[in-house]
Amino acid sequence: MTFPDTVRQHHDNVRALRCAVSEQPNPTIHHCHGGSMAQAGYKSGGGQRGCGEALVIPLAHEYHVGDSGIDYGVGVVTWEFWYQDQMKHLEWVNEQLPYDIFELHEHWKQNPPRRG
């Protein structure tokens, strides 16, 4: 399996999918954390944003940092109640890409990626 060489390449691939909630174009990258991620055993920490650079979903501004946003407006618990678990959205992202993002996450834990 061929993985992206850089974080930027992976994030560009994820952004190209459109918003996971609304399908709006030009989403931002949300670093998944807390809620369903913690329940699945993915913990934030180690200097990483969220649960790492591989476990990200595309979100329109409103659902990311707007009034209905997971990282500003309503928080993880309410957001996941309204818009489904982050893990469900990650599974959708995983189905859309030609590589496994969960394997990429493990690979990057052992071999930290380049940012650029």
Q: What is the pLDDT of residue 73?
A: 87
> Which pLDDT value is given to residue 50?
66
Extract the runs of DSSP E, i.e. beta strands, from the chain.
Answer: 28-31, 56-59
Cβ atoms 7, 53 nearer than 8 A: yes
**Length of the chain measured in residues:** 116
Which residue's entry shows tokens 């993002």? 101
HSE toward the beta carbon, residue 69, CA cutoff 13 A: 17
Confidence (pLDDT) at 49 = 57
Residue 42: predicted pLDDT: 87
> Each residue of 64-105: pLDDT tens digit?
999 999 999 899 999 999 999 999 999 999 999 999 999 999
- How do residues 19-60 score in pLDDT, each as one tens digit? 999 999 999 999 999 999 999 998 775 545 568 999 999 999
